[in-house]
Chains A and B, each alone.
Chain A
C-alpha cells in the first residue's frame, strides 16, 4: 500500500486551487491566498519548488507553455493521485478537528467559569 504524501499548508492550498481546473503559476498563488483567507501567501520560489515536487510525485501535471496577454504561461493540473492526496489530507484534518471539538464540548460543561 502506498502511503499518501503528507501535505503541508502551502502545498495543500496550492493543490486545492487546482480542484476546479488547471491554472498557471500566478493564478495558483492568488487562488491559494483566497482559499486560505490570506493565511497562505506563496512566494515564487515556494510555488515552483512545491510544483516540482508535486510533479515528481505525480500529483500534478504541467501543460505546454503558451503566451497570454504578452506573458509566458504554463498551466498545471491536478492528477487523480493529487485529488486522492488532497482528500486524505482534508479527512485527516477534519478528523483531528472533530476530536478536539468533541473534547472541548464535553469539558465545556464542567470547565471553571
Chain B
C-alpha cells in the first residue's frame, strides 16, 4: 500500500496529501461499515450504557460544583459519598468493568433517590425520568456487560470535560453541565457517520430534559418538544445510515 501511495503521488505534494487523506477516509468508511454490521438492538443497548455514563459525568459535575460552592466535603456527606460513588462508576467503566460500574451506579441511584423524592419542587414526571433513564443503562451494564474498554482518547476527553466543566460551572443554572452536554453533542454529531452510539446517547439525555421541561410547564413549549424529538430523530437517522451503508454495492 505504501509503495502504491508513493507511486501514485509521484513528486507532487498535493497528490500525496490527497492520497493520504483518501486512505484516512477509507479507514473511516471501513469503521462505519463495521459499526453498521451491528444490529439496531445492540447499537441502542450500547448507546443506553453510554447515556448512563454521560449522566454520571453530568451529576459528577453538579455534585462537585455543589461541594466547591459549599466549601468542603464535611458539610455535605451524602453528596460527598455520591460524588465518590460516581467517580468509582466512571473509573470502572473506563477499565472495561461494566458490571461493576452498573452495580455501583444503581446503588448510587437508589441511595440518592430518597433525597430527591423529598424535594417538594420536583414533579412526578421529573422524579420518574431523572433516575429511570440512566438506570436503564446501568441495569444493562450490570446484567449484560461487554468486556470492552473505551478508547483512551474518549476517556481522556470525558475526564478533561468534567474538570473544565467543574471549573467553569461554579455558576448558578448548571452552566458546567451545559458544557458537558454541548461538547458531547458536538462530538456525537462529528463522529455520527462512523459511530452513531454517542449521538444516540446524547439524544436520549436531551429527550429526557425535554420531558422534564414539559413537566415543569415550560414557558417555551416549542423548545421542549424539539428536545423530546431528539432521540427519535437520531434513531431514525441511524436507521437510514445503516440502510445506506448495508446496500449491496461497492
Contact = CB atoms under 8 A, between A and B. Distances in A.
B4 A57 contact: no
A3 interface: yes
Contacts, number: 64
A47 B24 CA distance: 12
Interface string B15-51: 0001111111111011000000000000000000000
Q: Is the interface of B mostly helix, strand, loop or mixed?
A: helix
Contacts of A45: 19, 21-27
Contacts of A40: none
A54 B250 contact: yes
A29 interface: yes
Contacts of A29: 4, 8
Given A43-B18, A44-B23, A45-B26, A26 B8 contact: yes
A25 B1 contact: yes
A52 interface: yes
Given A7-B250, A49-B26, A57-B250, A71 B7 contact: yes
B115 interface: no
Interface residues of B, number: 23
Nearest to B7: A26
A53 B248 CA distance: 11
Contacts of B18: 43
B3 interface: yes
A50 interface: yes
A54 B25 CA distance: 17
Contacts of B7: 26, 71
A46 B26 contact: yes
B22 A43 contact: yes
Nearest to B5: A44
A17 interface: no
Interface of B: 1-5, 7-8, 18-27, 29-30, 247-250
Given A46-B22, A48-B1, A53-B250, 12 more contacts: A5-B249, A7-B250, A26-B4, A29-B4, A43-B19, A43-B22, A44-B8, A44-B20, A45-B19, A48-B26, A71-B3, A73-B3
